[in-house]
Amino acid sequence: MSSEPALSAAFDVEPILDVLPVPTILVEPGTARILYANAAAHRLAGGTLRLGVPAEGYSRAYGLFDASGRPLAADEMPAVRVARGERVEHVPVDWETPDGLRTVVVSGSIIASADGRRIGVVTFEDVTALEGARRRSSLLADELRVMLDNVADAITVQSPAHKLIYANEAATRYYGIPRGHALDTFDAASYLRRFDATDELGRPLDLARLPGRLALAGLKPEPVTIRSRELATGEVRWARIKATAVHDPDGGVRLAISVIEDITELKRSEEAQRFLAEASRRLSGSSLDYERTLAAVTELAVPFLADRVVVDLVDDDEGGATPESEEVMRTGAAWLEPARMIVPMTAGRVIGTVTLSVADRVYDSADVLVAEDFGLRAGAAVENARLYRAASQIARALQTSLLPPHLPSVPGGQLAAAFHPAGLGLEVGGDFYDVFTTGEGQWYLVIGDVSGKGAEAAAVTALARYTLRTAAARRRSPAEILRWVGEAMLDQAAAGGRYCTIACALVELGTSPPRLTVACGGHPRPVLRRADGTVEAVGSYGTLLGLVADPELHDRETELRPGDTLVLYTDGLTEAGAPRATWGFPELEAAVRAAPVDGPESLVTSLVATALGDRASPRDDLAILALKLL
């Protein structure tokens, strides 16, 4: 007897099932043979669904697959499981039909009739369209995840509850933000405590003001630049954070997407350029004093490059350099350790090293490049200061040789003198003075100014000074002495077309009263401060020396009294305040009258101080020579 008549006798449900839109089959318990399929089931199968196939034939008759595409074994198929007595609820399977692959959700169980007969009822829900959309969405999500993981910038997604729910690979690589399920326990506040984080102006970072938080609040935040130093490693990173809100259909904020652009290299480059520019400015504009320049090198490097700086010089006789520093001096190549680096100071050659060390971070190759550039600039500044020191020493030695090593003792008088070179005093000036005697009671006071500066001016100064002494031994008259000097300058190629001005004073202390004879070869006339405080110019103007063969020179005599003070000077005194102000005779007279009367030393000091004012040095060499009669 066939199964179907038995089914009809026991379950007269075919008319009902055929009109149901839900695909339904009835299966025989135990064997799993399909005894009946309604019209909707046949349509789902893409034609006529085969009936009567036992469980062992299911794999050949019905092509069913799981979500991964694996074919289901017969005992895994939902109808077979129902026939075994299992209750199946919402099991998703893929069904290969003549119309293509269908995705269905299967449910089923064994039911019993009033007379005790049992039958398996299995229903199918066609979710092909819905599952296709879900799978396409999942595929798109996977593709999007792959794309985001390949973006160079860090990307995070934040929920309205301020929880991170996504972080791409760059966020993990650069900032150690976890991914996947690890984000479930991620706490932003605890994470930030690992860093010393500030904004671009160095202010402490306010978590509530980060762009992601502001975007969640419905605002459109401006990008923010932050600097973070990881406390454990000392590593410093810079980031520029932008955030955008994702809205739901009602306009509410569903998510905030933050893009964190790593700008560490850019910021390091900017900071390095600013540091090097400031180093150049300060080193080039600083004092040329050698020791101060060395101190400036160490001061500049802290704290940008190091916490501690040591400078070693190649020609340092103390021998305090480390073996590593000596190696850098020898090779000119930088030495790098995690917390220390040594770079050469160069100025065409290696003149020393700069050793830099830190306590809370690690140096890298970029730090070495900046330090090497700094070493180059520091080396140039130190070498310039060294050369300047050497040139200054030479200039001072040469200048000293052109002035009396000490003033002689004048019976019946007191002498004082001052010499202040112009500017930095790097070149030998042409100002000079001299005091000498040619006989008992006869003293010559000479002051002069040779045009120009440098070695040639020094040669003319030496010529003039020693010619004065030679001429004074043969000729008593100051005018005749100056004439001899002028002739010597014209005769000597060493003068090189230069000229000079000289004031020559003969003080005769052996006469009663003492007498003063003055001649001026183009030089400012000396002044005489009388014991009663009056001030007068002495001598007469004459012709510059070294320009013409027959200069106009005249002696002028006057009597001296105890307490009188004779002052000879160069124009560096009267022009010390130029271009703002220069002294004429009224200003000079006032300054001489206002000077202390206790001796020539005080008078000279007072005149220099009054002339210079707040200047550190005169604009031109300044020389003063004073004699006070006792």
Render pLDDT for 37-65 as a digit per residue (tens, 0 to 9). 999 999 999 888 999 999 999 988 899 99
The per-residue pLDDT for 244 is: 93
Q: Which residue has the higher pLDDT, 495 or 273?
A: 273
Q: Which residues pair with 522 in a beta bridge?
A: 502
In this prediction, residues 617-628 reach a mean pLDDT of 89
Shared domain check, 429 and 412: yes
- Residue 413 carries which side chain, given as an amino acid letter? G
Q: What percent of the chain has pLDDT over 70?
A: 92
The per-residue pLDDT for 202 is: 86
User: CA–CA separation, 338 vs 460, rounded Å?
Assistant: 61
What residues contact 569, with CB distance under 8 A and at least 6 apart? 447, 524, 526, 527, 607, 622, 623, 624, 625
In this prediction, residues 209-225 reach a mean pLDDT of 92
Identify how many contiguous H helices and E strands the chain contains and give both numbers. Answer: 18, 26
**Is the residue at 145 inside a domain?**
no
At 553-591, the pLDDT tens digits run 999 999 999 999 999 999 999 998 888 888 999 999 999
Question: What CATH number should be reported for the domain holding residue 10?
Answer: 3.30.450.20
Largest CA distance in the chain: 175
Domains: count for the chain: 4
Please, are residues 406 and 476 in contact by the beta-carbon 8 Å criterion? no
The per-residue pLDDT for 233 is: 84
Q: Which residues pair with 266 in a beta bridge?
A: none
At 471-503, the pLDDT tens digits run 998 999 999 999 999 998 888 755 566 789 999
Shared domain check, 278 and 253: no
The per-residue pLDDT for 319 is: 66
At 71-100, the pLDDT tens digits run 999 999 999 999 999 999 999 999 999 988
User: CA–CA separation, 332 vs 576, rounded Å?
Assistant: 48
Shared domain check, 622 and 514: yes
How sure is the predictor about 1, in pLDDT bands with cuts at 50, 70 and 90?
A: very low
- The two structure tokens encoding residue 420: 């202040």
How sure is the predictor about 285, in pLDDT bands with cuts at 50, 70 and 90?
A: low
Query: Which pTM was predicted?
Result: 0.56
Query: Which residue range(s) make up the domain with 567?
Result: 407-629
**Is the residue at 144 inside a domain?**
no
Q: Is the pLDDT of residue 184 over 80?
A: yes
**Is the residue at 139 inside a domain?**
no
Q: What percent of the chain has pLDDT over 90?
A: 55
Parallel, antiparallel, or unpaired for β 164-167 and 195-199? unpaired
In this prediction, residues 260-271 reach a mean pLDDT of 92
Domain-terminating residue out of 262, 282, 297: 262
**Is the residue at 137 inside a domain?**
no
Q: Is the pLDDT of residue 152 over 60?
A: yes
Shared domain check, 292 and 224: no
How sure is the predictor about 287, in pLDDT bands with cuts at 50, 70 and 90?
A: low
Question: What CATH number should be reported for the domain holding residue 606?
Answer: 3.60.40.10
In this prediction, residues 261-274 reach a mean pLDDT of 92
Least confident of 219-223, 486-490, 544-548, 577-581: 577-581
At 289-329, the pLDDT tens digits run 778 888 888 889 999 999 999 999 988 766 678 999 999 99
**Is the residue at 305 inside a domain?**
yes
What residues contact 170, with CB distance under 8 A and at least 6 apart? 149, 151, 152, 153, 154, 155, 260, 262
Whose CA is closest to 65, among 89, 100, 93?
93
Shared domain check, 601 and 470: yes
Q: Could you give the 3-state DSSP secondary structure of residue 438?
A: strand
**Is the residue at 138 inside a domain?**
no
The per-residue pLDDT for 4 is: 43
**Is the residue at 581 inside a domain?**
yes
Shared domain check, 305 and 241: no
Q: Is the pLDDT of residue 13 over 90?
A: no
Q: Please, what is the Cα angle at 151 between 258 and 203, to 5 degrees? A: 40
At 227-245, the pLDDT tens digits run 998 888 888 899 999 999 9
The per-residue pLDDT for 400 is: 67
In this prediction, residues 448-464 reach a mean pLDDT of 83
The per-residue pLDDT for 587 is: 94
**Is the residue at 120 inside a domain?**
yes
At 419-440, the pLDDT tens digits run 988 765 556 667 899 999 998 8
Q: Is the pLDDT of residue 281 over 80?
A: yes
Shared domain check, 511 and 373: no
The per-residue pLDDT for 75 is: 92
The per-residue pLDDT for 318 is: 67
Kindly write down the DSSP assignment for every residue of 83-148, as one continuous string: HTT--EEEEEEEEEETTEEEEEEEEEEEEE-TTS-EEEEEEEEE-HHHHHHHHHHHHHHHHHHHHH
Shared domain check, 455 and 548: yes
Domain-terminating residue out of 262, 282, 298: 262
Shared domain check, 372 and 308: yes
How sure is the predictor about 223, in pLDDT bands with cuts at 50, 70 and 90?
A: very high
Please, are residues 259 and 212 in contact by the beta-carbon 8 Å criterion? no
The per-residue pLDDT for 386 is: 86
The per-residue pLDDT for 147 is: 74
Question: What CATH number should be reported for the domain holding residue 318?
Answer: 3.30.450.40
The per-residue pLDDT for 3 is: 42
Domain-terminating residue out of 262, 291, 309: 262
Computed from CA positions of residues 206, 208, 210, 214, in that sequence, does the dihedral angle turn out positive or negative? Answer: negative
Shared domain check, 334 and 313: yes
Shared domain check, 384 and 249: no
The per-residue pLDDT for 577 is: 82
Shared domain check, 243 and 114: no
At 355-413, the pLDDT tens digits run 999 988 889 999 999 999 999 999 998 888 888 777 777 766 666 667 888 999 999 99
